[in-house]
Amino acid sequence: MVSRPAVDGEQFRQELRSWLAEHPSPSIAIATTGEEAETLREWQRTLFAGGWVGIHWPEECGGRGASVLEVAIFNEEMARARAADIPGKVGLSLVGPALMAYGNEQQKSQWMPRILNGDDVWCQLFSEPGAGSDLTGLSTRAERHDDVYLVTGQKVWTTYAQFSDTGIALVRTDPDAPKSKGISMLAVPMDAEGVDVRPLRQMTGDSEFNEVFLDEVEVPVENLIGPEHGGWRAASTVLANERGGGFIWKQQVRQEDAVDRLWKTCAGAGLFDDPLVRQRLAQAWIEAELFRLHNARTLARLAQGEELGAESSLVKLFWSETSKRFYETAYDLVGASAADEWTNDFLYSRANTIMGGSSEIQRNIIGERLLGLPR
Ligand SMILES: Cc1cc2nc3c(=O)[nH]c(=O)nc-3n(C[C@H](O)[C@H](O)[C@H](O)COP(=O)(O)OP(=O)(O)OC[C@H]3O[C@@H](n4cnc5c(N)ncnc54)[C@H](O)[C@@H]3O)c2cc1C
Pocket test for ligand 1, best of 134, 190, 210, 358 (most atoms within 8 A of CB): 358
| The dihedral formed by the CA atoms of 27, 255, 159 and 130, expressed in degrees to the nearest 10 | -160
pLDDT at 274 over 50: yes
Judged by DSSP in three states, 174 sits in: coil
User: Which residues have any ligand 1 atom within 6 Å of their CB?
Assistant: 123-124, 126-127, 132-133, 157-159, 209, 351, 354-355, 358, 360-361, 364
How many of the other CB atoms lie within 10 Å of CB of 375? 5
Question: Quick one: average pLDDT of 114-132?
Answer: 97
- Which residues contact residue 51 at a Cβ distance below 8 angstroms, ignoring those fewer than 6 apart? 64
Question: Quick one: average pLDDT of 237-262?
Answer: 80
Per DSSP bridges, beta strands 141-145 and 183-189 are unpaired
Confidence band, pLDDT 50/70/90 cuts, at residue 375: confident
Output the residue whose Cα is nearest ligand 1's atom 35: 360
pLDDT at 244 over 50: no
For the chain, the average pLDDT equals 92
Confidence band, pLDDT 50/70/90 cuts, at residue 7: low
What pLDDT does 242 receive? 57
CA distance 120 to 124: 13
Rg of the chain on CA atoms, in Å: 21
Q: How far is the CA of 159 from the centre of ligand 1 (A)?
A: 13
Per DSSP bridges, beta strands 183-189 and 224-225 are antiparallel
Annotated catalytic residue: which of 77, 242, 256, 287? 242
This prediction's pTM: 0.93
User: Are 359 and 325 within 8 A, CB to CB?
Assistant: no
Residue range 335-363, pLDDT digits in tens: 766 556 788 889 999 999 999 899 999 99
The more confident residue out of 7 and 286 is 286
What pLDDT does 5 receive? 47
Q: How far is the CA of 264 from the centre of ligand 1 (A)?
A: 35
Output the residue whose Cα is nearest ligand 1's atom 27: 132
Q: Which domains does the chain have, with CATH numbers?
A: 10-87 (1.10.540.10), 122-231 (2.40.110.10), 247-370 (1.20.140.10)
What residues pair up with 185 in beta bridges, in sequence order?
170, 225
Confidence band, pLDDT 50/70/90 cuts, at residue 298: confident
CA distance 273 to 166: 55
**Interaxial angle between packed helices 275-303 and 312-334, expressed in degrees from 0 to 180 and rounded to the nearest 10:** 160
